[in-house]
Amino acid sequence: MRQSQLFTKTQKQVSEEEVSVNAQLLMRAGFVDRLFAGVYTMLPLGLRVLAKIENIIRAEMNRVGGQEVLMPALHPKENWLATGRWDALDVLFKLNGSGDKEYALGASHEEVVTPLVKKFAFSYKDLPQAVYQIQTKFRNEARAKSGILRGREFRMKDMYSFHHNQADLDEYYSQMIEAYWRVYTRCGIREQTYLTFASGGTFSQYSHEYQTVTNAGEDLIYVCDQCQIAINQEIIADTNNACGQCKNTDLRQVKAIEVGNIFKLGTKYSAPFNFTYTDENNTSQPVIMGCYGIGPSRVMGTIVEVHHDDKGIIWPAEVAPFTIHLISLCQTSNDVTMANELYKKLTDAGIEVLYDDRPDARAGEKFADSDLLGIPLRVIVSAKTIAAHTVEVKPRSSAESSLTPLTEFLARYV
């Protein structure tokens, strides 16, 4: 993509209402725009990052047998009454339609997915199943001060699994624990992320969070460096301030962001919808459920909180909007042609390149923008590099740049 054609521009300053680092950097760089508190537009650059995160999640959910669907965001009140959450869920957006009809905007989808799968699963032969979607969720969050970490409208991957017994759920749950790790590894935040015990502090528990350590976090967790796990603040008292696994009391208190949450639901949602199956003996049994959430937009904000410096964002390779930021400092038409040719060669080879071809921007401006945008590899073409048959290459994460012979560079990428 040619930067000269991008409709967004970088900004020196954005709304002071945005206090979080993720919103400041993402808005200054032109990845997102704020409509109002907790509600953001994904701009061309931001949408590329979000799509990459969602595609990583999609691939990992497919790998553990998940079947993707897209459920409605507009829900009938009855389904939420059935589970008691019409009144119990304080963040639920409720609205009135024509007549006396009332609706909810989907804050979660147990109320839709449970009756949905019930229409197709009758016997033990129809189980297990795992169904997921990647979709926009709505929650009337009281505090929306953390940029895209806490949206009132935000992206969520929500997976629901359906089993004939607890052992089958337990087995699937442990596969999901690993699938989630693969997601965070590929998103570049594995190192900072801890499997966190939300209650009880043992592995047999019914709920776990994935918490990424950063000062921007709204949650407090207690990390056990021996087990490489953490305990949520809400339960720490129950465990006598000790790790539930090794009983270590030397726990590290840190701030963290909940980037994922997995639950063993049991019959909590199958019961209100009378979702049962017939077993081998033709006896009716309750369906056992699990649910597994990740917020792709929150993951995007978390990556920025973890990977930035005072100049801007430093995207991990797999989620970066582009692989190469090609910067042309060329002035003469011959040199500009050379830069254009290099851009064409790279894009023809399938490499994602943002090409700073802006004729009227100064070098310093281009470098500052490049640092802010955070594309992993910067490649500079100028009269000097062309004369020497080289390009200047600088990883975003390093202070050093080097001159690489053009033939060597092309051999590596094309």
Q: How far is the CB of 48 from ligand ATP (least distance, A)?
A: 19
Q: How far is the CB of 8 from ligand ATP (least distance, A)?
A: 22
Contact 325, 379 (CB under 8 A): yes
CB-CB contact of 40 with 148 (8 Å):
yes
Angle subtended by helix axes 44-63 and 166-186, to nearest 10:
140
Q: Which does 378 bind (CB under 5 to 8 A by kind): Mg ion, ligand ATP, none?
A: none
Place of tokens 């033990």: 124
Contacting ligand ATP within 239-298 (CB under 6 A): 258-261, 293-295, 297-298
- When CB distances are held under 5 to 8 angstroms depending on the partner's kind, the choice from ligand ATP, Mg ion, none that residue 259 binds is ligand ATP
Which of 106, 151, 244, 312 binds ligand ATP (CB under 6 A)? It is: 151
Q: Which is nearer to ligand ATP, 259 or 342 (CB)?
A: 259
CA distance 106 to 122: 26
The CA distance from 329 to 338, in Å, is: 11
Cis peptide preceding 128, ω within 30 of 0: yes
- Work out which of 48, 109, 139, 396 binds ligand ATP, going by CB under 6 A: 139
Query: Helix count (H) and strand count (E) of the chain?
Result: 12, 23
The answer to whether residue 261 forms part of the interface with Mg ion (CB under 5 A) is yes
Q: Is 92 in the site for ligand ATP (CB under 6 A)?
A: no
d(Cα 60, Cα 318) in Å, to the nearest integer? Answer: 14
Closer to ligand ATP by CB, 162 or 292: give it.
292
CB of 297 to ligand ATP, least distance (A): 6
Q: How many residues bind Mg ion (CB under 5 A)?
A: 1
Q: What is the C-alpha to C-alpha distance for residues 267 and 273, in angstroms, rounded to an integer?
A: 10
Helices marked H in 196-248: 233-236
The long-range contacts involving 357-361, CB below 8 angstroms and separated by at least 24 positions, are 357/2, 357/3, 357/4, 357/328, 358/3, 358/4, 359/4
109 touches ligand ATP (CB under 6 A)? no
378 in contact with ligand ATP (CB under 6 A)? no
By CB under 6 A, residue 217 contacts ligand ATP:
no
Closer to Mg ion at the Cβ: 31 or 263? Answer: 263
CA–CA distance, 18 with 37 (Å, rounded to integer): 9
Binding site for Mg ion (CB under 5 A): 261
Binding site residues, ligand ATP, CB under 6 A? 108, 139, 141, 150-151, 154, 156, 258-261, 293-295, 297-298
